[in-house]
A and B are shown apart, each in its own frame.
Chain A
Amino acid sequence: SAVISQKPSRDICQRGTSLTIQCQVDSQVTMMFWYRQQPGQSLTLIATANQGSEATYESGFVIDKFPISRPNLTFSTLTVSNMSPEDSSIYLCSTTSGTYEQYFGPGTRLTVT
């Protein structure tokens, strides 16, 4: 299984600012994903982070709000831009190496005030 770390683990941010979340995997992986878990809710896929190309966003999520980078096969970042209180959530990255086992990072708990 892949070991995934995320930074920061939590943050409290003011509205209108941006936060970049880092996701590091201990091995090279084919696919990386970013999910959002709003308070008391289930997980929703934001986008697929593709190495060497633009991320693929799901309906309801746009690149201007959630820019993603994937510079190599072990690392990705998600930026939450121009934050509002509605962006308060847990943001999780996940990965698979091409098998159907998908592993998640510990999450970044974001509170926007």
Chain B
Amino acid sequence: GEDVEQSLFLSVREGDSSVINCTYTDSSSTYLYWYKQEPGAGLQLLTYIFSNMDMKQDQRLTVLLNKKDKHLSLRIADTQTGDSAIYFCAESPLNDYKLSFGAGTTVTVRA
């Protein structure tokens, strides 16, 4: 599968914005995903973006894609304690539904 890399940890103060970064190596058209995993739970699909888009916004979540640099970010506005979780970036090539995951970023929200 393709390589997907993420920073491992992020600590953010409650009420601030969180930005989680991801890089990928696939140079063809691709779908890019953000999943959230809370302790002891499965994966929750937060959002996804196709590589012909630059940005996607959904309530507190903003995804930015820099296709030239193969860089994806997830911004969480007004971060809450319930946002504490592991966030996984994942990629699948066009016409292939297999997901390649990053290592996950553990986000800790402090009061």
Asked whether, in the complex, the Cβ of A105 is within 8 Å of the Cβ of B42, the reply is: yes
CB of A92 within 8 Å of the partner chain: yes
Interface residues on chain B, number (Cβ under 8 Å): 21
Please state if B33 and A102 are interface contacts (CB–CB under 8 Å): yes
Q: Is the CB of A101 within 8 A of B97?
A: no
User: In terms of DSSP, what is the predominant structure of the interface of chain B?
Assistant: strand
Is A43 part of the binding interface, using a Cβ–Cβ cutoff of 8 Å?
A: yes
How many A-B residue pairs lie within 8 Å, measured between CB atoms? 52
Number of interface residues of A (CB under 8 A): 22
CB distance from B38 to the nearest CB of A (A): 11
Tell me the bound Cα distance from A105 to B45 in angstroms: 11
Q: Chain A: interface secondary structure?
A: strand
In the assembly, what is the distance between CA of A44 and CA of B90, in Å? 11
Chain B positions within 8 Å of A, measured between CB atoms, are 1, 31, 33, 35, 41-45, 48, 50, 88, 90, 92, 97-99, 101-104
The 3 closest A-B pairs by CB, nearest first: A106-B42, A104-B43, A42-B101
A residues bordering B, Cβ < 8 Å?
1, 31, 33, 35, 41-45, 48, 58, 92, 94, 96, 100-107
